Structure 1
Amino acid sequence: MDLLRVRAARPAATGAVLAAAALLAGPAAVAQGDSTTQSDSTSPGTTQAGSGWNDDAYRGEVEVIPGDDETADMVSGVVFEDADRSSTHDDGEKGVAGVQVSNGRDVVTTDSEGRYELPLEDGMDVFVTQPRGYQVPVDEDNVAQFAYTHMPQGSPELEYGGLEPTGPAPEALNFPLEKDMGAKHPHQSCVIGGDVQTYDEDEVEYARAGAFSDLAARKDYSSCGALFIGDVVGDDLALYDSVRELSGMLNGPARFLPGNHDLDFDAESREHSVDTFRAQLGPQYYSYDVGKLHVVALNSIEYPVGDGYNGALGERQLEWLRRDIAEVPEGRAIVLATHIPLLDFADQGSDVHQVDEVAEIYEILEGREVITVGGHTHSIENLRAGDSLTGWEETFGVEELPFTHLTAGAISGDWFSGEMLEEGYPTAIQRDGGVPGVITLEARGEHLTERFTARGDDGSTQMSLGLNTPAYRDWFAAHEDDAGEAPEFESPLEVPQEDLGEAWLTANFWMGGTGSTVEVSLDGGEPVEAERTQQMQGEGQRVGAEHSDPTAVQQQLVHGGSIADRSMHLWRLDLPEDLASGTHSAEVTATDVHGDEFTDTVEFEVID
């Protein structure tokens, strides 16, 4: 079951991939050219140009009415329409019927007056599933407010504080909502950002100058907001305050998931491993509706496991997922977000960096329109229904994917590594050759498509081009263990005539996947279809210089970072052996699985 495309194709992006050069800042690995700006269409319900979402955002909090019964094992309250934006359920403010409220295991539906009742235990997150056509309030940093964590005694002693004591069960726990026609409209743009992963204040500033400045300039996602899917910081949980300042730049609500670098590492059990995250950013798993989408955000980190962590949900969360999905009406598309992906290409043979219960999750979602998005791998992946790899079958018994699996890449890219750019952040090219950026899910009713926006770009740059030659492969072999210390590879866009039979043009189409095509026109000739290096038909990973992205590797070996020696979205075209000496031009047109075209050009030279 794959997702359908029901939107007009965007205009082709023309010009050279050294539109990607500004992104990659490579030596001369790509050629200069023009780029056509993708139009920033504004759907109903989004912030219009000239207005500021922050100026009129619905700010507030969950209403907690303190109680004094220390033996209470139930919590009740009302989900209500907050007409005066006071966060208080005032006389005359009506309850909202048919809304799901959960304690992280049970799911109940509000009655005709918006009332609910739930069992309550120590450590529970109690949260409302934002219904279609409403928004939950946000705080001063735009972080969505829709949950209460019940921790009567507070967290055990933790380095970063954890949760303060909440005392006895509340007498009432009320969830305010505001009507929002934009959140009801079937056309939505939802931003998904992976791995902000700042380790210090300098890296916070890199994120500010990069993806968050990009998002501050965009006005298309105000109804759906932005979901950051884990590794919000890099082990130092004191940096949550700084990341919250970044979310204050957004033009829409911000929601977060915990990653393996968001943990209280001094916690002795999974029960308290994300207490500081919950205190700062919200519940560890939850769901919300917008348009005709049902978004499910899951905590896929099991900790502690020996000396580390593992990708798993645990039985309690899995049971909540069953009950949550059971309440989703037919005709709603489901977006399932995790930090550790259900399955991915980068770690396709790992039982740690993929999710243990993937088969059970597939069973729960059977027959639904689904797309899942993960982070964690610091790579961009667009895996389609029917894709298969040896590692998935051997490790989890999954022969092929039942629906689209995206890996969003990282806002931090390759951990903010590489050459520093004048824009105020490093190149940070990822392990697949992709650049830092964010994914936007475009919903047209229950139908979803995806697009990638590279950091510092308008969305038109979707690939990087280069040459893989014998000289490049020799250089790679000589320096593959010298990342950050290798000498620059000279003349990356030159190939001797005698090497033409062993040289090829490469196109790293960052959001390419099964169903995408890449065609190359040499010197204005008829387009020729390039070959994808990783077919995703049950084979293992293809790794090494021959399967690498030379444009990315030439940056990484010289300036540091991971090495892009494998990718599921790399295409190659063998250069004709009869090419004459001189300068040649290659026009590359990449067409994604939805039929959208992107065109870039590169010039290279054949020398005697």
Structure 2
Amino acid sequence: MLSFPSRKHSSLRVALTALTTLAVAGGAAAIPTTSTATPNAAPKSWDETAYRGQVEVVRTPEGPADTEYLTGRVFVDQDRDSASDRRERGLDGVVVSNGRDVVTTDRHGRYRLPAYDNMTVFITQPAGYQVPVDESNVAQFHYNHLPEGSPELRYGGIAPTGPLPDAVNFPLVRSQLTRAQEQHCVIAGDLQTYDRTEVEYARQGAINDLAGRRDYQGCGTLFIGDVVGDDLSLYPDVKDLTSLTNGPARFLPGNHDLDFDSATAEHAFDTFRAQMAPAYYSYDVGDVHIVALNTVRYPCTPDVDNADGRRPECDDPENSPRYNGRLDENQLAWLEQDLAAVDDDKLVVVAGHIPLLTFADEGSAIHQVDQVREVYELLEGREAVSVAGHTHSIENMRTGDLVQGWQDLFGVEGLPFPHITAGAISGDWYSGELTENGYPVAVGRDGGRPGLLTLDIRGDSFRERYTVTGESDRVQTQLGINSPTYRDWYAERQAWNDNPEGAAPELGDPHVVIREDLAGQTWLTTNFWMGSTGSTVEVEIDGRRAGEATRTQEMRGEDQLIGPEWSDPHAVAQQLVHGGSVADRTMHLWRFELPADLGTGRHRAEVTATDAHGREYTDVLHFRVVDQP
């Protein structure tokens, strides 16, 4: 079991008042010297426990008595046939929404919602119950209503649904897995496969890792956008991947899941909605309420998105359509009502593709969410964490952290709760050399490696855990040497890449240090992927007394520090040679200046990285000092 500090909260439930009345129905592997709290394996396989089924849509020739409202029932599906029988009881207090209005079911499990011509109706899975999953493990908890279907779209969109059904009934089964106080929620960033070759990269990489894990059966996996890379015909291939996982699979949309031929934002995610999930929704497990938001608006427009002049990319949607990080009015209204139904003592996980705020793109308005302050106000006083993707980097930002762009663009004076950018399954878009395991190295723009984020949760407390693809949870750091020789090569190689004439400049052995470089600021670098404010890194060389490394980006309101002296040399040595982004900035890099009196010959550096939770990881780098290059 995980060990977390206890915390007392009131457990009053906020009533939905008027809305409720509607309801009538690097070096060596890092080794932790403190437990990383690897979760206990579940006693049964997912295939033995999975509840497979679908939402029940009831139609009769007469149609509903009142076409202004959709009605239905949330019921406990005792015989697991997805059909509502009289002997199967309705479940009261379940939250149901049409994406605008939010109601709760009455004592018979019944609900009643206003009907709109283009809406997705969905339930919030209550803790202690499980919605059905299909054969691909994709959660089934919603119904799309679009009578005439989508406008003509390349990838099909939503087929005509016809008139309003007589009822839409949502089946559930009891679940100890979702009731448990201890949950392990996998947050999967940017799968982003552009073709079937990349689908296979994902299968051999992170999906293979998930297939070998059994700790996330209750919470499942949330794929936080850019599920594919523009080619929406690959959604069936993605479902083939999720069929290999061991828990419910849920999805939210990213800017590469768009119907780019949609003329308006209203239909920009129709194919995603038809094949994967609602554009936004929520669900509960244990003491956790997870909100999956659509943080992408496409096409953005000057009147809505650039009224303040900070998003000129949105000024010509007809000839140059772009996206922007934004919640539409319906979603924001839904979010307020959704959170009003959540007990004060629950942890709220706010997930979106484009982050509320990010370090990587801290100076860009379109790559962060316009209404970040409104979201903060809705979450005020709650235990919360934001998780996101989009940037293909790993960021573990804690309460109080601040960089200049957040102040300049949004007037934010510090994070009110932790924000985590989850990295990416695709890493740096499947770039770089192929590993022996059959997928690319794909080192990210922050020097991070592809992988998966897990929130290890007990009650309303959590610990974040990043698992590098193909590695154990012990691998948390990457070591390198940043010397004047390296920085000179960085500049020369970058110039050659821009104009490749003659022989390419070669770095040589990155773990060899020229003696004269020791007098010119040579650092041992530690890229600590889940490192954050409150983390420490200590370096011991050749058994000498350990010294403390310095974090390059303090997150205290400064601007980004960019360039070779702030880079991860281990990552850059691969990226400038084999392609991909260049790790010239990161918020989780520590530097330790090598002593100028190191003798010629071999040396051993032992690095101990301690995260904000007190977990320690040890990594070792061997390097050599030489008199001449």
* Superposition TM-score, scaled by structure 1 size: 0.93
Residue in 1 aligned with 2:57?
64
Contact 1:488/1:554 (8 A) holds in 2? no
CA distance in 2, matches of 1:521, 1:456: 28
Read off the aligned partner of 1:98 and give its amino acid letter.
Answer: G
Residue in 2 aligned with 1:440?
454
- Structure 1, residues 171-214: CA drift from partner, whole Å, max 9, x if none? 01100001001211110000000100000000000000000000
Matches within 5 A, 1:115-264: 115-264=110-259
Residue in 1 aligned with 2:406?
392
Are residues 1:369 and 2:383 paired? yes
Are residues 1:105 and 2:105 paired? no
CA distance in 2, matches of 1:52, 1:186: 20
Residue in 2 aligned with 1:330?
344
CA distance in 2, matches of 1:279, 1:155: 10
Read off the aligned partner of 1:366 and give its amino acid letter.
Answer: E
CA distance in 1, matches of 2:182, 2:452: 19
Following superposition, the deviation at residue 458 of structure 1 comes to: 1.4
- Structure 1, residues 401-456: CA drift from partner, whole Å, max 9, x if none? 11100000110000000011111011000000000000000111011110100000
Following superposition, the deviation at residue 556 of structure 1 comes to: 0.3
Following superposition, the deviation at residue 6 of structure 1 comes to: 3.6
Residue in 1 aligned with 2:540?
521
Paired residue secondary structure (2:443): coil
Following superposition, the deviation at residue 487 of structure 1 comes to: 4.6
Paired residue secondary structure (2:299): strand
Paired residue secondary structure (2:298): strand
Following superposition, the deviation at residue 592 of structure 1 comes to: 0.6
Read off the aligned partner of 1:451 and give its amino acid letter.
Answer: R
Are residues 1:586 and 2:605 paired? yes
Read off the aligned partner of 1:401 and give its amino acid letter.
Answer: L
Contact 1:65/1:171 (8 A) holds in 2? yes
CA distance in 2, matches of 1:81, 1:528: 60
Read off the aligned partner of 1:598 and give its amino acid letter.
Answer: Y
CA distance in 2, matches of 1:421, 1:256: 28
Matches within 5 A, 1:343-422: 343-422=357-436
Paired residue secondary structure (1:142): coil
Residue in 1 aligned with 2:310?
none
CA distance in 1, matches of 2:593, 2:110: 66
Read off the aligned partner of 1:517 and give its amino acid letter.
Answer: T
1:262 and 1:481, CA in 2 relative to 1: closer, same or farther beyond 3 A?
Answer: farther
Read off the aligned partner of 2:290 and give its amino acid letter.
Answer: V
Read off the aligned partner of 2:70 and give its amino acid letter.
Answer: V
Residue in 1 aligned with 2:10?
none
Are residues 1:555 and 2:574 paired? yes
CA distance in 1, matches of 2:506, 2:118: 54
Following superposition, the deviation at residue 596 of structure 1 comes to: 0.6
CA distance in 1, matches of 2:53, 2:497: 49
1:211 and 1:524, CA in 2 relative to 1: closer, same or farther beyond 3 A?
Answer: same
Residue in 2 aligned with 1:73?
68
Percent identity reads 58
- Structure 1, residues 348-379: CA drift from partner, whole Å, max 9, x if none? 01010000000100000000000000100000
Following superposition, the deviation at residue 54 of structure 1 comes to: 2.1
CA distance in 2, matches of 1:378, 1:222: 26
- Counterpart of 1:494 (choices 493, 512, 519) is 512
Residue in 2 aligned with 1:298?
293
Are residues 1:453 and 2:467 paired? yes
CA distance in 2, matches of 1:254, 1:526: 49
Query: Unpaired segments of 5 or more residues in structure 2?
Result: 7-25, 301-316
Paired residue secondary structure (2:559): coil
1:33 and 1:120, CA in 2 relative to 1: closer, same or farther beyond 3 A?
Answer: closer
Following superposition, the deviation at residue 56 of structure 1 comes to: 3.4
Residue in 2 aligned with 1:18?
none
Contact 2:352/2:389 (8 A) holds in 1? yes
Following superposition, the deviation at residue 526 of structure 1 comes to: 1.8
Read off the aligned partner of 1:500 and give its amino acid letter.
Answer: L
Following superposition, the deviation at residue 47 of structure 1 comes to: 2.6
Contact 1:483/1:556 (8 A) holds in 2? no
Deviates more, 1:424-433 or 1:69-78: 69-78
Paired residue secondary structure (2:323): strand
CA distance in 1, matches of 2:596, 2:615: 32
CA distance in 2, matches of 1:576, 1:36: 26
- Structure 1, residues 58-101: CA drift from partner, whole Å, max 9, x if none? 00000000255487120111100000000000121001111100
Are residues 1:268 and 2:263 paired? yes
Following superposition, the deviation at residue 34 of structure 1 comes to: 7.7
1:33 and 1:367, CA in 2 relative to 1: closer, same or farther beyond 3 A?
Answer: closer
CA distance in 1, matches of 2:487, 2:268: 45
Following superposition, the deviation at residue 314 of structure 1 comes to: 1.1
Residue in 1 aligned with 2:559?
540
Residue in 2 aligned with 1:313?
327
Read off the aligned partner of 1:560 and give its amino acid letter.
Answer: G
Read off the aligned partner of 1:150 and give its amino acid letter.
Answer: H
Following superposition, the deviation at residue 132 of structure 1 comes to: 0.8
CA distance in 1, matches of 2:81, 2:279: 26
Paired residue secondary structure (1:278): helix
Read off the aligned partner of 2:605 and give its amino acid letter.
Answer: A
Following superposition, the deviation at residue 524 of structure 1 comes to: 1.5
Following superposition, the deviation at residue 499 of structure 1 comes to: 1.3
- Counterpart of 1:52 (choices 45, 68, 71) is 45
- Counterpart of 2:279 (choices 265, 279, 284) is 284
Contact 2:32/2:617 (8 A) holds in 1? no
Read off the aligned partner of 2:547 and give its amino acid letter.
Answer: V
CA distance in 2, matches of 1:34, 1:392: 34
RMSD of equivalent CA atoms:
1.7
* Superposition TM-score, scaled by structure 2 size: 0.90
Following superposition, the deviation at residue 31 of structure 1 comes to: 3.8
Paired residue secondary structure (2:342): coil
Paired residue secondary structure (1:308): coil
CA distance in 1, matches of 2:137, 2:331: 26
Paired residue secondary structure (2:401): coil
Which structure exhibits the higher relative contact order, with contacts defined as CA atoms closer than 8 Å and separated by 6 or more residues? 1
Deviates more, 1:365-374 or 1:483-492: 483-492
Paired residue secondary structure (1:589): strand
Residue in 1 aligned with 2:19?
none
Paired residue secondary structure (2:207): helix
Contact 1:483/1:560 (8 A) holds in 2? no
Paired residue secondary structure (1:587): strand
